[in-house]
Structures are given as structure tokens and as C-alpha cells.
């Protein structure tokens, strides 16, 4: 980015802003939010924009929507009343009212079918183990309070309520037609008004961010332009009647950022935005966050069948064949997560809860099981020592993830503050990475014990100097040692907890697989040894419902927990702040 400071004569101010907006490459620096909040004109414009957005989202004014909602509620009430009146059979409500006026009081009761006595009244219906009966003037004066419950006298018969519901359905069709007519007449104009309102708000914000100097004769404001857009801006400024300065952004400037990622990493930029965009002097975390989130998600799903379903759903959303408002624009990332889940799920050997490694299917080639993780470990048991391969793998991935975070932190802090201010960070990185690397090399190449010992001692000594002695150059060494001891306590306990957090990847994948297998087993039990049409229907219903439920729960866990590992464990150890602003040029 390049920082531009513009000084414009007041008569040329608005024409110059129009030129900048037409070019659309300059991000105008806005002043503090407090100034914006206190401006009545801007707040009125924001309120008008909200009203337009709400009206477009609703698709109709409140009056028309309320009218439709009232009709829908009346239809629901009529259908409920029809169901309640159906137990009394077909009757004429006007005849009942005439009997009441003639002095015959009809009382309606329900009681358990086994307790009913003929002298209590006229039995009208028996349903679901209950008897519905009518008593006229309580002529037997029988006290059946302990057995029967009195019900309200039905206003209409079930047939009459159904007729009313049909009439209301006609009114609902008319209400929907009025809403559709309103949309055809107004929606496009409202969208145009929303665009104009948005441009008006942007213009007002730029005006509020401009300093008026020399009693309003001069206008001063700042902006930022990407380096690749400089030639366009400078060509426009060459002919403009304006004074400007072009400088490199200073550390204290609120410089916006513009991400430069390939098509695959761009899919995961919304995840970075959920936490916060990087500062101008920070690394963009998306190239690391994206692939690791994909891997974590796939491990939590842990089933290649579910991965295939997610891929298909993502493709349908991407192609516009499946409309789900909350997933609008996310078809690409859902496809990527589905493909990753398919690959990782196959490596884990699970397909809709079925253990592929143990499955004895003639059509499934045995050679396809060779790359499954169940085929690793001691004696191809899927275990390393007493632990599952996936559990060990989850911890190893966590160690790599955290080491990568610490490396990025050391590099970015050194770039920002210099090496002297980050000696302690490098010391911890050397100690952890050097210790792990030495242990791995020693085991793989059978290094002599003395070589391993003195290598670890050398790494420890150099690291200790950075952690305890030179962590803050120029400060009292005793204070540095005390700070180093406190830092050691925090790092030791914090890193151990962070590494153990990655076991959740193994636990979620295992839980999903076990639950899927449980639904398969339950469905198989219903199917039985001699299946028929009924048992097949039961099997299909149980398995379908079970796997849909399991997939929904798995997706929820596979979204939340990888986000936690990224936003907490990774960002904390990477020193990521995420308080930057995204580049948003002033344009039409």
C-alpha cells in the first residue's frame, strides 16, 4: 500500500471526490467512530439504509405480511378446531344452539372407555381408549368427576371447520398474490434505492473524514492505494488541480490490507474474517489456517461416505441447484471440505459407519486396504504401542501446527520489532524444534549417546541464554532471569495443554464412527435374518435418519472444534492480533 495525503481547494473538492469514486482504487481513511455516531445526517441515512435492507429481505411491507400471517394463523386454528370436533362426528351446530335455547343443556365429556357407564349419557365415539359422551341436563345427576372430564361445547362440526379453512385458503392465495404484485412493482426500485443510499453514506463518511482548513477554504484527507493501482491513480492526479503527497505507510497508520491468495486459499478467507483481518505488518494467516482447518474438519468427520455427501451438497449449492440461505456463497468451501473428508475418511477406513478394513466384501479389493491407517502400527493393528494410530497422529499434527505457529511468530515479531526484542521467542523455538529434531534424528539414525547428549546440552544452553538472560536487552539480568522463569512456567503448562487439545480431533472422529456403526447395527437388527417389505422399510428409515442426524452433529463439531484449535491454540502461539481493516476502496 501507498499512503496519499490530498489537499484540495473547497470549490474543487466534490468534483475531485467524484473522480476518485469513478476510479475506485483509493481507500479513504475514516475518522473515529464517535464522530460518525454524533452526526445526525449520517445516522438518518444509515437508518434509511437499514429500512431498505429490511424491506427487501422481507419481500413486502409489514402490513401485507401481517395480513398473510393472520390468515395463516386462522387456517391453523380452524384445522386444530376441526380435529378436536371430529370426535363428536357430524352434527348441526345450529340444532345444538336451538336445544340450548329450548332449555336442554348439552354437556360434553370424555372418560376412559373401560370406565364408561350407559346411564352417564349418550356415547358418541370411542377413540384411542377413550369414550366421548354427551349428557342432557345432567338428568341422572350422576357424579362422575372422578372418571370423566368435561370438554367445551364445540362451536362447529369438523366439516364446518374444514369449510372455513378452505375459505381462508382462498383468502391466503389472494394475500400471496398481493405480495407478489407488490414485489414485481417495487423490488427492483428498492434495490436501486439501496445502492444509491449506500453511495450516499460512503460520500457522507468521506466528508466527515475530511478536515476543513483555512476557514473551510481547503480540504485535507488521507487514503491508501495498492501498489499495483498506483499508475492509474497517479495518471488521474497528474491532470487534477490538487496537491498531494505520496509516502510509505507509517507504523502508527491504520493501513488497510488487501489479501492476495489463490482460488483455493480464498475459500477460507471468511474464516479469517470471523476472527479478524491481519494488520498491515502481520502475516496473512489464511494460507496456514485454510489447509489445517480442512485437515481438522476431515479428521472430525472421519467418514468417506459423509465426505461424498458433503461434496455433492457443496456442488449443488455452488451450481445454484440447491438454495440454502445460510450457505449462500459457501458452495466452494463445502465442496473442498467434502473432498478432504472423503480422502481422510477413506484413510481412516470408514464408510457410513462401516469399517472398510474389517469388511469382508468380495467386490472390495484387498489391495485398497493397504494405505488405510488401520493397516499401520505394530503388526498392522492400527496401534502404536497401546495407542490408536489416529490418536498419535492427532497429537503429532498438533505439535507440527504449534511449531509452525511459533516459527511464524518469531519471524513476524523479528520483522516488526527487530531481533533484539525477540531473542526469547527464538530461544523457545530453538529449544522446542531443536530438541524434537535431535530426538528424531537420534532414533532414525541411531546416533551415539554422547553425540545426542551434547547436542541437547548445546541447544539447551543457547536457548537458556535467550530465554533467561537476553530476553529483554538493557534490563537488569536478575529481572530478566525472573521474567524467564515466569515465562517458562507459562510456556510449559500452556504448551502441554495446547498439544493435548488436539486429541479432540481423534475423539470426535471416533465418536462419529461409533455412532454411525450403532445405527447400522440397530437397522440390521430390525431387518432380521428373513427380511420382508416391512423390515426393509424399517431398516431404511432407521439407517437414513441415523446417518443424517450423525452427519449434522458431526458437521457441527467439525466446524466448531477446528475453529477453536485455529483461533485459540494456533493464533495464541503465532501472536496473531487480527485487528486490521480490509481494503475497501471509495467507489461506485
The three-state secondary structure class of 224 is: strand
Residue 331 included in any domain: yes
- Is 70 exceeded by the pLDDT of residue 37? no
Q: For residue 377, name the pLDDT band (cuts at 50, 70, 90).
A: low
Residue 497 CB neighbours (<10 A): 10
Q: Which band of pLDDT confidence, cut at 50, 70 and 90, is reported for residue 553?
A: very high
Mean pLDDT of 160-170: 92
How high is the pLDDT of residue 140?
55
Flag whether pLDDT at 175 surpasses 90. yes
Question: How many other C-beta atoms can be found within 10 angstroms of the C-beta atom of residue 326?
Answer: 5
Say yes or no to pLDDT of 375 above 80: no
Please say which residue of 105, 129, 153 terminates a domain: 153
**Residue owning grid cell 491468495:** 261
- Residues 282, 371 share a domain: yes
User: Quick one: pLDDT at residue 43?
Assistant: 85
Decide if pLDDT at 439 tops 70. yes
Q: Does residue 170 surpass a pLDDT of 90?
A: yes
- 23 found inside a domain: no
Q: Which domain holds residue 102?
A: 92-153
Task: Report helix angle 286-301 to 331-347, nearest 10.
Answer: 50
Residue 286 has pLDDT above 90, yes or no: yes
Q: What's the mean pLDDT when you consider all of the chain?
A: 86
Is 5 part of any domain?
no
443's CB contacts (< 8 A; 6+ apart) are none
Supply 38's cell numbers: 454524533
Q: Report how far residue 421's alpha carbon sits from residue 139's, in angstroms, rounded to the nearest whole number.
A: 99
60 inside domain: no
Cα–Cα distance for residue pair 231/222, rounded to 1 Å: 18
The model's pLDDT over 525-546, given as tens digits with 9 standing for 90+, comes to: 888 888 888 889 988 999 999 9
358 shares its domain with 400: no
Q: Are residues 270 and 374 in the same domain?
A: yes
3-state secondary structure 157-197: CHHHHHHHHHHHHHHHHHHHHHHHHHHHHHHHHHHHHHHHH
The Cα angle at residue 181 between residues 176 and 185, in degrees rounded to 5: 150
In a domain, 425, yes or no: yes
- pLDDT score of 114 more than 70: yes
Confidence class of residue 414 from pLDDT cuts 50, 70 and 90? confident
Percent of the residues in the chain that have a pLDDT greater than 70, as a whole number: 96
**Overall average pLDDT of the 398-410 stretch:** 90
Annotate 354-381 with DSSP letters as a single string: EETTT---TTS-GGGGTTSGGG-BGGGS
The pTM of this model reads 0.76
Question: Residue 298 pLDDT more than 90?
Answer: yes
Counting residues of the chain whose pLDDT is more than 90, the rounded percentage is 34
For residue 570, what is the DSSP state? I
pLDDT above 80 (res 73)? yes
Q: Are residues 417 and 529 in the same domain?
A: no
The DSSP letter of residue 222 is E
pLDDT at residue 310 in the model? 93
Last-in-domain residue among 122, 137, 153: 153
Judged on CB neighbours under 10 Å (0-12, 13-18, 19+), 384 is middle
Helix (H) or strand (E) holding 383: strand 383-384
Q: Taking Cα atoms as reference points, which of 257, 208, 239, 222 lies closest to residue 19?
A: 239
Residues 323 and 349 in one domain: yes
CA distance 12 to 23: 17
Across 18-27, 110-119, 432-441, least confident range = 432-441
- Cβ atoms of 136 and 106 within 8 Å: the answer is yes
Q: Please say if the pLDDT value at position 77 is more than 90.
A: yes
Does 276 share its domain with 366? yes
Which of 501, 519, 540 delimits the end of a domain? 501
Cα separation, 9 vs 210, whole angstroms: 12
Helix axes 158-208, 10-23, angle to 10 degrees: 130
Residue 528 confidence (pLDDT): 84
280, 375: one domain: yes
* Residues paired with residue 5 on neighbouring β-strands, in sequence order: 222, 245
Instruction: Please give the average per-residue pLDDT across 486-513, as a whole number.
Output: 84
Grid-cell match 350407559, residue found: 118
Asked if 417 and 369 sit in the same domain, the reply is no
What is the secondary structure of 396-425 as a DSSP string?
HHHHHHHHHHHHHHHHHHHHHH-SGGGHHH
Give the pLDDT confidence score for residue 139 in this predicted structure.
59
Classify residue 313: in a domain, yes or no.
yes
Q: Please, which pLDDT band fits residue 33 given cuts at 50, 70 and 90?
A: low
Q: Please indicate, yes or no, if residue 77 is contained in any of the structural domains.
A: no
> Could you tell me if 72 and 175 are in contact, meaning their C-beta atoms sit under 8 angstroms apart?
no
Residue 94 pLDDT: 83
User: Residues 451-482: pLDDT tens digits?
Assistant: 888 888 888 888 887 777 777 776 777 777 78
Q: Are residues 331 and 421 in the same domain?
A: no
Q: Is residue 83 part of a domain?
A: no
- Mean pLDDT along residues 371-397: 76
- Cα gap 231→227, rounded to integer Å: 8
Q: For residue 359, what pLDDT band results from cuts at 50, 70 and 90?
A: confident
567 shares its domain with 512: yes
Kindly report the backbone phi and psi dihedral angles of residue 301, in degrees, each rounded to the nearest multiple of 5, phi listed first: -70, -55
pLDDT above 60 for 16:
yes
Cell of residue 532, nine digits:
420382508
On whether both 513 and 495 belong to a single domain, the answer is no
Cell digits of residue 443: 532414533
Question: Does residue 154 have a pLDDT over 80?
Answer: yes
Any idea which residue has 481547494 for its cell?
A: 9
- Residue 223 to residue 30: CA distance in whole angstroms: 9
Does 436 share its domain with 340?
A: no
Average of per-residue pLDDT across 330-342: 92
Read off the C-alpha cell for 99.
336445544
The highest-confidence range among 67-76, 119-128, 525-534, by mean pLDDT, is 67-76
CA–CA separation, 377 vs 325, rounded Å?
45
CB half-sphere exposure, 455, CA atoms < 13 A? 17
Find where cell 398473510 sits: 68
Please count the structural domains in the chain: 3
Amino acid at each position: 500500500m501507498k499512503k496519499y495525503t490530498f489537499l484540495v481547494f473547497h470549490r474543487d473538492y466534490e468534483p475531485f471526490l467524484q473522480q476518485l469514486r469513478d476510479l475506485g482504487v483509493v481507500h479513504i481513511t475514516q475518522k473515529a467512530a464517535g464522530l460518525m455516531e454524533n452526526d445526525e445526517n449520517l445516522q438518518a441515512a444509515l437508518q434509511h439504509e437499514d429500512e431498505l435492507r429490511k424491506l427487501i429481505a422481507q419481500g413486502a411491507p409489514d402490513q401485507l405480511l401481517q395480513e398473510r400471517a393472520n390468515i395463516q394463523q386462522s387456517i391453523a386454528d380452524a384445522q386444530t378446531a376441526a380435529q378436536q370436533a371430529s370426535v363428536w362426528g357430524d352434527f348441526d351446530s345450529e340444532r345444538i344452539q336451538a336445544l340450548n335455547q329450548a332449555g336442554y343443556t348439552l354437556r360434553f365429556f370424555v372418560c376412559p372407555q373401560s370406565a364408561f357407564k350407559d346411564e352417564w349419557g349418550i356415547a358418541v365415539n370411542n377413540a384411542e381408549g377413550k369414550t366421548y359422551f354427551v349428557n342432557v341436563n345432567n338428568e341422572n345427576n350422576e357424579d362422575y368427576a372422578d372418571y370423566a372430564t368435561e370438554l367445551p361445547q364445540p362451536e362447529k362440526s369438523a366439516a364446518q371447520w374444514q369449510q372455513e379453512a378452505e375459505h381462508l385458503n382462498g383468502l391466503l392465495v389472494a394475500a400471496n398474490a398481493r405480495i407478489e404484485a407488490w414485489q414485481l412493482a417495487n423490488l427492483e426500485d428498492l434495490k436501486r434505492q439501496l445502492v444509491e443510499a449506500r453511495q450516499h453514506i460512503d460520500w457522507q463518511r468521506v466528508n466527515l473524514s475530511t478536515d476543513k482548513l483555512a476557514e473551510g477554504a481547503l480540504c485535507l484527507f488521507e487514503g491508501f492505494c495498492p501498489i499495483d493501482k498506483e499508475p492509474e491513480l497517479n495518471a488521474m492526479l497528474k491532470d487534477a488541480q490538487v496537491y498531494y503527497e505520496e509516502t510509505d505507510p507509517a507504523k502508527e497508520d491504520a493501513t488497510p490490507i488487501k489479501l492476495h491468495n489463490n482460488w483455493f486459499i480464498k475459500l477460507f478467507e471468511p474464516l479469517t474474517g470471523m476472527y479478524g483481518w491481519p494488520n498491515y505488518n502481520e502475516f496473512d494467516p489464511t494460507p496456514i489456517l485454510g489447509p489445517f482447518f480442512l485437515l481438522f474438519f476431515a479428521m472430525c468427520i472421519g467418514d468417506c461416505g459423509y465426505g461424498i455427501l458433503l461434496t455433492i451438497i457443496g456442488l449443488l449449492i455452488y451450481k445454484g441447484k440447491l438454495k440454502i440461505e445460510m450457505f449462500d456463497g459457501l458452495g466452494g468451501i463445502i465442496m473442498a471440505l467434502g473432498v478432504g473428508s472423503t480422502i481422510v475418511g477413506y484413510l481412516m477406513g470408514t464408510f457410513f459407519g462401516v469399517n472398510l478394513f474389517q469388511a469382508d466384501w468380495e467386490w472390495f479389493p484387498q489391495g485398497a486396504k493397504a494405505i488405510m491407517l488401520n493397516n499401520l502400527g505394530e503388526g498392522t493393528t492400527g496401534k502404536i504401542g497401546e495407542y490408536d494410530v489416529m490418536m498419535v497422529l492427532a497429537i503429532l499434527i498438533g505439535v507440527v501446527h504449534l511449531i509452525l505457529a511459533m516459527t511464524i511468530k518469531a519471524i513476524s515479531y523479528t520483522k516488526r520489532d527487530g531481533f533484539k526484542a525477540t531473542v526469547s521467542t527464538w530461544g523457545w523455538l530453538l529449544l522446542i524444534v531443536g530438541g524434537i529434531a535431535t530426538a528424531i534424528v537420534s532414533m532414525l539414525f541411531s546416533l551415539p549417546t554422547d553425540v545426542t547428549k551434547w547436542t541437547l546440552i548445546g541447544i539447551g544452553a543457547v536457548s537458556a541464554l535467550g530465554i533467561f538472560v537476553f530476553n529483554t536487552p538493557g534490563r537488569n539480568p536478575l529481572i530478566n532471569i525472573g521474567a524467564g522463569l515466569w515465562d517458562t512456567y507459562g510456556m510449559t503448562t500452556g504448551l502441554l495443554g495446547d498439544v493435548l487439545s488436539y486429541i479432540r480431533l481423534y475423539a470426535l472422529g471416533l465418536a462419529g464412527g461409533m455412532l454411525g456403526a450403532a445405527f447400522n447395527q440397530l437397522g440390521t437388527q430390525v431387518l432380521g435374518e428373513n427380511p420382508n417389505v416391512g423390515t426393509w422399510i424399517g431398516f431404511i428409515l432407521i439407517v437414513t435418519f441415523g446417518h443424517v442426524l450423525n452427519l449434522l452433529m458431526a458437521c457441527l463439531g467439525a466446524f466448531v472444534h477446528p475453529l477453536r484449535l485455529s483461533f485459540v491454540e494456533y493464533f495464541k502461539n503465532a501472536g496473531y492480533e487480527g485487528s486490521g481493516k480490509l481494503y475497501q476502496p471509495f467507489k461506485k
